[in-house]
A and B are shown apart, each in its own frame.
Chain A
Amino acid sequence: MPQMNMVQAINDALRIEMRRDHRVVVLGEDVGKVGGVFRVTQGLYDEFGDDRVIDTPLSEGGIIGTAIGMALYGLVPVPEIQFSDFIFPAYDQIVSELAKYRYRSGGEYPAKLVIRTPVGGGIRGGHYHSQSPEAQFIHVAGLKVVCPASPADAKGLLLASIRDPDPVLFFEPKRIYRAAKGEVPEGDFVVPLGKANVVKPGVHVTVIAWGAMLYEALEASNQAGKQGIDCEVIDLRTLWPLDIDTIIASVKKTGRVVVVHEAPKSCGLGGEIVSLINEKAFLHLEAPPKRVTGFDTPFPYTLENEYLPLAHRILPAIVETARY
């Protein structure tokens, strides 16, 4: 199997699907000639031409709005929003139109498209190049939300997303775009949506993470292992719909849980996960569930390593939960 980083794996998935399915088009700011600011769409313009790889002006509302229209007419658009921080000019189109299309047309128009967008901190980008807005989209019923942590998952989940009948928000953790490397199956390869991955089995504490923070959770779990605490680490991969069965099975085994995410704590996805655990596995809990998250502030330029829930903040939470 070839070794790839996330950028190469996503590029590979787009290329495969564009060759296979003529309805697939890519659009966004500098995605064509330049190949995207992170070079994720590099080479697609040369292979597929400017009617399938479309450079747009700065116009997020226009990008997503026209992508919806294209989808209604039977195309399969994969728009890129350059950073997920810039998605909000298109929030109206996503929330008011895209998310509700299938439902309010009685299933006649599925509005099937995939919005790809880099997410999260780790490049010292400050307020508007670092945020993690996943919960703001999960709260809008009607969208699927994905966030891969490995190159293989990035490829397989993107292909699954493009083939899914629902609109999907595909968050790409920019901190590990090039840092995460791994073997990626060649050719067509699908990872089903809605299935979490138990990356490391264990019996003492369940640690739930996704995206770039998965590696921090693993690092903290390794360190906890040296203190005799055996963590089970779950990579959610699909953030919505949530694979609650995998979570509950794990919590029933360990009775202890730590959820990690970059987004601010209040009303984050961690809150929803903990609520579901309370509803479904309350009597199995041996300790209060813990969340290790970003702060309830805008994302700061400096102090990034304080704000992010890195291993040095996850480890004490694991230890406290284990010893409770």
Chain B
Amino acid sequence: MSTSDATHLALYRQMVLIRRFEEEAARAYSQGKIGGFLHLYIGQEPIAVGAVAALQPDDYVITTYRDHGLALARGMTPRAAMAELFGKVTGCSKGLGGSMHFFDAEHHMLGGYGIVGGHIPIAAGTAFASKYREEKRVSMCFFGEGAVSIGDFHEGLSLAALWKLPIVFVCENNEYAMGTPLSRELSVEDVSTKALGYGMARDRFFADHVLTVRDRLAEAIERARELSEPTLVEIRTYRFRGHSMSDPGKYRTPEELEERKKRDAVLRSRADLEAAGMGADVEAAEKEIEDIVADAVRFAEESPEPGPGVARSDNV
């Protein structure tokens, strides 16, 4: 196996981990074991996985409520992630945050954010701190195209450009903000053009292949690390599931969904790897992931809930 094939296999494995993890989470949700809201990343896996492959382990990442994929790609254990979904004390945020609020200091993941756009200026702040401390650590901030209509998006980009901060803004444009299609969200559908007014570099491409994502983001990361300049990257993608588990998705046709699933980057990598003669490795990786995910579910089920003291201050 060549090095590049081995790398591709490793990235494929990460994508399968995210997908199988979330499929099992969806099952647990429908059994009532996970409550509240559950936003699945299925369909968008090549973005988190490709991005993490291009970043250094001590770079900062920060994202939205659709955060399981990035957390797992970054190295959070499936056990800590699943236990958080189940609201257990062994979860990454002690069960107090749930699906939308994963944090992982060890892997420099600054969390999932429930308020759309709220984290964008915060990412500019971590980039500022990196520059201030001359550490050459890059910040990468993920958000959906829905966030582009929020003031915080513009304030974050404006400051990052003005202060030449080492940051990559990644807009995961999946063409829907809940039930609202792109055409009814933005007057200009090319999100990357928002960079122009701030004098910021930009890029724009489809997430059809995990290696494309990795290589294109590597250019923006290098610009941040070497020149301390920000980039706005729009990556076109598609979510295969509803906005969250409670969304029946009536605003799009089954035909559209089927059409888009043909561009599934996970299947694409699988086919490439098989064609390169690595069918047996692919199957071994898939088998291993099954066991890891089953173990995570078992761990989450068996873990205790946090005691009331964890949630409560003493003003009662």
Measured CB to CB, the residues of A under 8 A from B are 29-30, 33-34, 37, 55, 57-62, 85-86, 88-89, 123-129, 265-266, 293, 295-298, 300-303, 306-307
Contact = CB atoms under 8 A, between A and B. Distances in A.
B236 interface: no
B57 interface: no
A52 B280 CA distance: 59
Interface in B37-80: 37
A28 to B, nearest CB: 11
18 contacts: A33-B179, A33-B251, A34-B250, A57-B186, A58-B147, A58-B177, A59-B151, A86-B116, A123-B35, A126-B114, A128-B114, A266-B315, A295-B311, A295-B313, A295-B315, A301-B97, A302-B88, A303-B310
A124 B87 CA distance: 10
Interface of B: 35-37, 87-88, 95-101, 114-117, 146-147, 149-152, 177-180, 184-186, 250-251, 305-306, 308, 310-313, 315-316
A295 B179 CA distance: 34
Contact of B316 (A125, A129, A265): A265
A69 B150 CA distance: 19
Nearest to A90: B151
B306 A303 contact: yes
A58 to B, nearest CB: 4
B188 to A, nearest CB: 12
A287 B242 CA distance: 53
Given A59-B150, A128-B114, A301-B98, A307 B315 contact: no
A140 B98 CA distance: 32
Given A296-B315, A301-B97, A306-B308, A128 B36 contact: no
Nearest to A86: B115
A293 B306 CA distance: 20
A278 B147 CA distance: 47
Given A29-B177, A302-B96, 12 more contacts: A33-B251, A57-B186, A58-B146, A59-B149, A88-B115, A89-B151, A125-B36, A126-B97, A297-B311, A297-B313, A301-B87, A302-B87
Contacts of B88: 302
A34 to B, nearest CB: 4
Given A61-B151, A265-B316, A303-B305, A55 B184 contact: yes
Contacts of B315: 265-266, 295-296
B201 to A, nearest CB: 25
Contact of B305 (A29, A124, A302): A302
Contacts of A307: 311-312
A126 B101 contact: yes
Nearest to A304: B35
A57 B100 contact: no
B189 to A, nearest CB: 12
Contacts of B150: 58-61, 89
Given A126-B100, A295-B316, A29 B311 contact: no
B313 A85 contact: no
B275 to A, nearest CB: 41
A37 B184 CA distance: 17
Contact of B98 (A30, A86, A302, A306): A302
B contact patch SS: loop
A307 B150 CA distance: 31
Contacts of A126: 36-37, 97-101, 114
Contacts of A29: 177-178, 180
Contacts of B185: 57-58
Contacts of B177: 29, 57-58
A3 B185 CA distance: 37
B312 A128 contact: no
Nearest to A92: B151
B25 to A, nearest CB: 14
Contacts of A128: 100, 114-115
B36 A62 contact: no
Contacts of A62: 149
A296 B316 CA distance: 9
Nearest to B179: A34
Contacts of A300: 96, 311
4 tightest A-B contacts by CB?
Answer: A302-B87, A128-B114, A124-B35, A301-B98
Contacts of A266: 315
B98 A89 contact: no
A57 B251 CA distance: 15
A303 B114 contact: no
B42 to A, nearest CB: 21
A30 B178 contact: yes
B146 A302 contact: no
A296 B311 CA distance: 9
Contacts of A89: 115, 117, 150-152
A59 B88 CA distance: 34
B82 to A, nearest CB: 14
A109 to B, nearest CB: 24
Contacts of B311: 295, 297, 300, 302-303, 306-307
A85 B180 CA distance: 20
A30 B100 contact: no
Nearest to A298: B96
B97 A127 contact: yes
Contacts of A33: 179, 251
B14 to A, nearest CB: 26
A91 B41 CA distance: 31
A248 B117 CA distance: 45
B149 A127 contact: no
